[in-house]
Amino acid sequence: MIPRKVLDRYPVVKRIAKRLIATVPLSLRLGRTFWEWYAFFEESEHWSRSKLTSFQMDCLRTLLSELYRTSGFYQSRLSGIDFSSLDTLEQFQDQVPLLTREQFRENFSEIRSSHIAEKRLSKVSTSGTTGMALQFYHSVKDNAREWAAICHQWRRVGYFPSESIRAEFRGLTSHGKLVEVFPRHNMIRCSILHLKKEHIHLYSDEIRKYKVKFLHGYPSAIYLLARGICESGVDFPQPTAILLASEYVHDWQLVQIQTAFPNSLLFAHYGCAERTVLGGWCEYRKEYHILPQYSLVEVDQSSSEIIGTNLYNTINGFVRYRMSDTVVEVDEEYCPDCGRSYTRFIKIGGRFEDYLFSTLTGWIPMVSVNLPFKRLKEIRETQLLQKEESKILIRYTVREGAEHTGVEAEVSQILSGMHHLFGNEMSISFERVDDFPRDAGGKFKWIICELDKTPRSD
């Protein structure tokens, strides 16, 4: 195999290599590990709750034994536990303490396994939109498991990994391109930074050209695309399904997306870079079914915080990891429509850092904060910043050609709604900007709360 450094040095060779690789069937390019995991997820999704729990405990005993053997941090943390007798979730919870993000960051060198060479690892980081990105490792082979799990969920809306072609509205294109083609992955990527009418016309043409049947992207980007289609009247192709990922999905976004794509199925999945939880909408209802074969997930009854354990990462273990994400409504019963024996997240509440504080009512989650921002037409995107308990700054951008009176009316609408949520004592100010700072993937953080508090209970 040609070293990656050589390909990077000679971009023409790299382009030719990509084209040649694309001539090989995707079923072969995905590799054996992918298809083994894909088959496992397919076969096990209708296992009984007891069989799934037994599988999780087998994985857990193997994981903890390996972490104890190779990690100084876990050798101390798991000392005295008889892994062979660990049979229930209750035993696991009683004997293994919780792990916070701060503890992981501060003890990373002790957490990381001393038995694995770095060249066999894939370096990863969280998005870091708060300026506190977490860096860690997965094994290179685990990337196949991750993709198999996602493709398995997408199958619920007709996506087949060896055949389906998708257009991505997530991440950034290289060198400022509007459309970038990835034949090796049966995928094209459209720039989420360019969503004006002329760009939408181009994307429409390219999606037809490549026979794209699935759109995949950030809900915020797909929402702007859908809004642009409705405003401009562009004859945009109707995909089989729209795959939403990486962000919280708001109801008002879904309304706009369904208006632009009335014949397309919608599917959202929820996960994280640490791979401590993964779930996707049921094909019959908009609720997340959490994959028990992928990780072990708990919900803190007092704070509603999600606690996840990556069952396969022995490089730098995430065991009973506090994710800071919250779930407002959860159901442990099997789904009455599809019959899967999975934990069901009916409503995700967002992350703790996505809460804003009201001196009148206390902490307010993102799921409630978004209410005043429905049905905006002239205002394109917003961002909320809270540095003091009694003050919130709302930054906003407007659509091209927005009418001043319309913008002012929507600012007034937001102000009224925010005062209803936070009380009239809250000082709400506005700042119009051209754009927001974005991370390496093109995302920006909607809520930035810099208060030295959290909504979790003591």
Domain membership of residue 2 (yes or no) is: no
State both tokens at 43: 């076969």
Note whether 100 and 163 are same-domain residues.
yes
Residue 86 C-alpha from the chain's centroid = 31
Residue 347: which CATH number? Answer: 3.40.50.12780
Buried b / exposed e over 295-330, threshold 16 CB at 10 Å, is: bbbbbeeebbbbbbbbbbbbbbbbbbbbbbbbbeeb
Domain membership of residue 152 (yes or no) is: yes
pLDDT of residue 17: 58
Q: Report d(CA 238, CA 259) in Å as an integer.
A: 11
pLDDT band, very low/low/confident/very high, at 312 (cuts 50, 70, 90): very high
Strands 187-190 and 166-169: parallel
pLDDT of residue 238: 97
Give residue-wise pLDDT tens across range 78-114.
Answer: 999 999 999 999 999 999 999 998 899 899 999 999 8
For residue 218, count CB atoms less than 10 angstroms from its CB and return exposed for 0-12, middle for 13-18, buried for 19 or more.
buried
pLDDT of residue 20: 61
Find all residues with CB under 8 Å of 369, minimum gap 6, and list them.
356, 384, 421, 447
Q: Report d(CA 118, CA 138) in Å as an integer.
A: 10
Higher pLDDT among residues 360 and 265, named by residue: 265
Domain membership of residue 4 (yes or no) is: no
CA-nearest of 306, 305, 318, 239 to 279 is 306
Mean pLDDT estimate for the chain = 88
Find all residues with CB under 8 Å of 118, minimum gap 6, and list them.
137
Q: Report d(CA 349, CA 337) in Å as an integer.
A: 24
pLDDT of residue 388: 93
Note whether 295 and 440 are same-domain residues.
no
Note whether 265 and 382 are same-domain residues.
no
Note whether 315 and 375 are same-domain residues.
no
Q: Report d(CA 84, CA 91) in Å as an integer.
A: 12
Q: Report d(CA 381, CA 358) in Å as an integer.
A: 23
pLDDT of residue 445: 81
pLDDT of residue 22: 65
Asked whether the predicted pLDDT for residue 1 surpasses 70, the reply is no
Residue 364: which CATH number? Answer: 3.30.300.30
Note whether 232 and 359 are same-domain residues.
no
Average pLDDT over residues 451-455: 58
pLDDT band, very low/low/confident/very high, at 131 (cuts 50, 70, 90): very low
| Helices 197-209/219-232 angle, 10° precision | 100
Q: Report d(CA 213, CA 186) in Å as an integer.
A: 11
CA angle at 287 for the pair 36 and 193, rounded to the nearest 5°: 80
Note whether 384 and 282 are same-domain residues.
no
Residue 120 C-alpha from the chain's centroid = 25
DSSP 59-125: HHHHHHHHHHHH-HHHHHHTTT--GGG--SHHHHHHHS--B-HHHHHHTHHHHS-SSS-GGGEEEEE
Average pLDDT over residues 191-201: 87
Return the percentage of the chain with pLDDT > 70, whole number. 89
Average pLDDT over residues 178-186: 91
State both tokens at 436: 């927001």
pLDDT band, very low/low/confident/very high, at 64 (cuts 50, 70, 90): very high
Q: Report d(CA 386, CA 451) in Å as an integer.
A: 7
Note whether 307 and 369 are same-domain residues.
no
Domain membership of residue 285 (yes or no) is: yes
Note whether 104 and 167 are same-domain residues.
yes
Domain membership of residue 73 (yes or no) is: yes
- Choose one of 317, 351, 385: the last residue of a domain: 351
Domain membership of residue 246 (yes or no) is: yes
Find all residues with CB under 8 Å of 170, minimum gap 6, and list them.
189, 192, 216, 217, 218, 221, 245, 246, 441, 442
Note whether 250 and 388 are same-domain residues.
no
Average pLDDT over residues 340-351: 88
Domain membership of residue 148 (yes or no) is: yes
* Window from 37-51, 115-129, 208-222, 341-355 with minimum mean pLDDT: 115-129
pLDDT of residue 3: 53
Buried b / exposed e over 339-356, threshold 16 CB at 10 Å, is: ebbbbbbeebbbbbbbbb
Higher pLDDT among residues 126 and 408, named by residue: 408
Note whether 277 and 171 are same-domain residues.
yes
* Window from 14-28, 203-217, 246-260, 379-393 with minimum mean pLDDT: 14-28
- Choose one of 330, 351, 372: the last residue of a domain: 351
pLDDT of residue 99: 97
Residue 284: how many other CB atoms lie within 10 Å? 11
Domain membership of residue 7 (yes or no) is: no
State both tokens at 416: 């009224």
- Choose one of 322, 351, 380: the last residue of a domain: 351
State both tokens at 388: 């003091």
Average pLDDT over residues 55-67: 96
pLDDT of residue 80: 94
Note whether 326 and 442 are same-domain residues.
no
Question: What's the Cα-to-Cα distance from 345 to each of 56, 239, 330, rounded to whole Å?
Answer: 19, 27, 5
Asked whether the predicted pLDDT for residue 441 surpasses 60, the reply is yes
Asked whether the predicted pLDDT for residue 2 surpasses 70, the reply is no
Dihedral sign from CA coordinates of 69, 73, 79, 82: negative
For residue 242, count CB atoms less than 10 angstroms from its CB and return exposed for 0-12, middle for 13-18, buried for 19 or more.
buried
Q: State whether residue 401 is helix, strand or coil.
A: coil
Give residue-wise pLDDT tens across range 212-245.
Answer: 999 999 888 898 899 999 989 999 999 999 999 9
Note whether 385 and 426 are same-domain residues.
yes
Higher pLDDT among residues 369 and 270, named by residue: 270
Asked whether the predicted pLDDT for residue 172 surpasses 60, the reply is yes
Q: Report d(CA 168, CA 186) in Å as an integer.
A: 11
CA-nearest of 250, 251, 254, 290 to 270 is 290
pLDDT of residue 6: 45
The answer to whether the CB of 348 falls within 8 A of the CB of 328 is yes
Q: How many domains does the chain have?
A: 2
Give residue-wise pLDDT tens across range 281-307.
Answer: 999 999 999 999 999 999 998 888 999
Quote the domain boundaries for residue 373: 355-449
